[in-house]
Amino acid sequence: MQPKKRTRASHPKVRTGCHTCKARRVKCDEQRPSCLKCLSTGRKCEGYKSNREWIVVVAPPLPVTDGFEDDRSRRHFDYFRSQAVYELSWFFDGDHWGRLILQESHASAAVRHAVIALACSHEDFKDNMTVAAQAPQYAYAAQHYSKAIRNLIKETSDDAHESRLKALMCGLLFISIEILRGNNAAALNHLDGCLKIVREAQARTGMPPLEGNCLESITHLFRDIIPMYARLDVQACVMLGRNPHDTGPGPVMWDLSKKSPTEDLPPPILSFDTTFEALESLFLLGKQVHDFIGEAHSKHKDGRWTCQPRRAGSCSLHQEHHDIHTKKFVLYGQVMQWDHAAQILLNATESSQDYDRIALLKIHHRTMLTLLENSFADGECHLDNSQWAFEDIVNFVTELQDRSNRNDEDSSSDSDSSFTFETSSSQSIDSARSRTTTPLPQARPAIAKKIGRSFLVLDGGIIFSLFWTAVKCRDGILRRRAISLLEQSWQEGVWVGVIQAAIAKRVVEIEEERPYEQSLDLDTVKMALDIREEVRVHNVTSDVDKAGRTAKVTLLKRREYWEELGEEWCESVEWVRW
């Protein structure tokens, strides 16, 4: 029988004894500051301080992202911020629109991808002649373009002002991309869709409740966005190639409290307090003139008055003829009232920037005036009476160009010559106050520098006015000055300065019946009285091929002996290269 093993009594393990007792594996009485167990055996008590080291593991923070997928997208965003954003800030908008785009691009993936796509297109199409097939970054821009559309659908699923704000901002970026690519039809589709959103936003304005976080979006919507779309709506025929006979659901209003510009008797224009009021009034007046010209063309086709079938007792063709002439007379009075009010504003301004703004508005005003004069006219010779308006267009553009060039030179010159621009600015303002029309100076040599800093302006500027002057003003000196200014201009909407200059040169060759020469002696230059009605071009349309640097130009002229031939109009096709 084996002896029974001796076992020790089980006690709970104590971890609070002194270090000496723990090392000896004996029970400590835990007396402080030294235990009695160590003192009774003559040992040094090491105490109770814990020497255990704790390791704290901290989870790494979540990576901070700026929303960009790679360095390439960041580079394109920086390019947009430093250069391309100025294309969206029109002459009257300052930097409000550009700042709004940049702020929203950090919060909205849709706006961010649209900005990157526009920056790529902006770099690719700098020379105005690049086509999509030749664009080196076309595929990368298309990827971000698609991502912008997909994200926009997600971000605008609700019916809120913030959603409309994002949609309209992306819409303007999309329109710019399509114009750079030369896809004018797509740009018009984007514009028409955005105008529907604008009208919907205007219809819902003031409907309760308006929460506090919506007020900022509403402010941006009506202060920064709707005015730009209102201008694009009026200028769509000129800037985006919209068919002038296309009629939409009505113009976009800048301010819903203002009288609609489609009413027959607009209120008289007495004065303006700011240049923005003058701008708003001129564009609303331009919408009226545009609608009237469309109505006049529909009733005065091929130089003959036409009348729709009428009910018994309705007015006669003579009465309709009288009514439309009366409407033209009223519109003409409104246009001249605007010029008088703008001149008063010019006399009161002390700012060179406001002077430049009013000068640009006067360019548009003179263009509008000659367009109104040209409506349902039987011939082209009547425009010779409007030479003063064409003269003002050329002189105002030349003055703006000279002031811009002086500003650029002064900004790069030494500080001791920095006073030159301000002195010349004040002198030009004083001289402008003393005139309503500008005397015709001698022809100037072409200046190599381009007008302005931007190669693409989404809004209307000077190119259409210069082209209209070059083809409709038959004074040889004026039209050559207009062509020279066109060659120095970049791009506004679908209008490219060098292309319009080449087309205008061909029109001048046909009407003057000799090869085009830019510099002519006063003895050999042809004036308006030297250009016969039979050789004058009534209408010009073009189909541009940027890749081949050619344009198919269709010209409409009156036949010389049309009464004997029975056909009044002759259409010809010309091919123009530049």
Residue-wise pLDDT for 207-241, tens only, equals 443 344 455 666 666 666 777 777 777 777 665 55
Inform me whether the pLDDT recorded for 519 exceeds 60: yes
Question: Predicted confidence band at 66 (pLDDT cuts at 50, 70, 90)?
Answer: low
pLDDT at 435: 44
Q: Is the pLDDT of residue 376 over 80?
A: no
Query: What pLDDT score does 256 carry?
Result: 43
User: Is the link from the previous residue into 3 a cis peptide, with omega within 30 of 0?
Assistant: no
Residue 544, H or E segment: strand 537-545
Domain 12-49 falls in which CATH fold? CD2-Gal4 (4.10.240)
Using the predicted structure, report yes or no on whether residue 385 has a pLDDT greater than 70: yes
* CA–CA separation, 295 and 288 (whole Å): 11
Model pLDDT, residue 482:
95
Q: CA dihedral defined by 91, 333, 472, 388, rounded to 10 degrees? A: -80
**Position 6 confidence tier, pLDDT thresholds 50, 70, 90:** low
pLDDT of 151: 92
249 burial via Cβ count (<10 Å: 0-12, 13-18, 19+): exposed
Which pLDDT band, with edges at 50, 70 and 90, does 387 fall under? very high
Q: How far apart are CA 217 and CA 108, in angstroms?
A: 14
Domain residue spans in the chain? 12-49, 74-205+213-246
132-160 tens-digit pLDDT: 667 788 889 999 999 999 999 988 877 67
Q: 495: helix, coil or strand? A: strand
Mean pLDDT in residue range 421-450: 39
pLDDT confidence of residue 506: 94
* Residue 466 clears pLDDT 80, i.e. is over it: yes
Q: Is 523 exposed, middle or buried (0-12, 13-18, 19+ CB in 10 A)?
A: exposed
Mean pLDDT over each residue of the chain, to the nearest integer: 75
Q: Is the pLDDT of residue 336 over 80?
A: yes
Exposed, middle or buried by CB within 10 Å (0-12, 13-18, 19+), for 140? middle
C-alpha span between 481 and 447 (Å, rounded): 11
Model pLDDT, residue 471: 94
Mean pLDDT of 249-254: 49
pLDDT digits (tens, 9 = 90+) for 444-458: 333 233 334 344 455
Higher pLDDT, 393 or 561: 393
Kindly tell me if the per-residue pLDDT of 473 is higher than 80: yes
Per-residue pLDDT reduced to its tens digit, 508-517: 999 999 999 9
Given a cut of 50, is residue 260 above it in pLDDT?
Answer: no
Instruction: Give all strands (DSSP E) within 451-536, no chain letters.
Output: 456-457, 491-492, 495-496
- What DSSP element (H or E) covers 551? strand 550-558
Identify the band that residue 170 occupies on the pLDDT scale cut at 50, 70 and 90. very high
Q: Of the segments 37-41, 348-352, 385-389, which one has the largest average pLDDT value?
A: 385-389
Name the pLDDT band for 247 (thresholds 50, 70, 90): very low
DSSP string, 154-182: HHT-S-SHHHHHHHHHHHHHHHHHHHHHT
What pLDDT, on a 0 to 100 scale, did the predictor assign at position 375? Answer: 78
Give residue 422's pLDDT. 38
The pLDDT score that the predictor gives to residue 393 is 95
- Using 50, 70 and 90 to split pLDDT, how confident is the model at 495? confident
Contact 167, 197 (CB under 8 A): yes
Comparison of pLDDT for 520 and 359, the residue scoring more = 359
pLDDT at position 438, please?
37
Most confident segment among 258-267, 273-282, 300-309, 416-425: 273-282
pLDDT of residue 177: 87
Mean pLDDT on 118-136: 74
Angle between helices 476-487 and 463-472 (to 10 degrees): 150
Instruction: Give the rounded distance of the alpha carbon of 75 from its chain centre.
Output: 23
332-348: average pLDDT: 90
Q: What mean pLDDT do residues 309-318 have?
A: 50
| Percentage of residues in the chain having pLDDT higher than 90 | 19
Question: Alpha-carbon Rg of the chain, whole angstroms?
Answer: 37
Least confident residue range of 63-67, 171-175, 385-389: 63-67
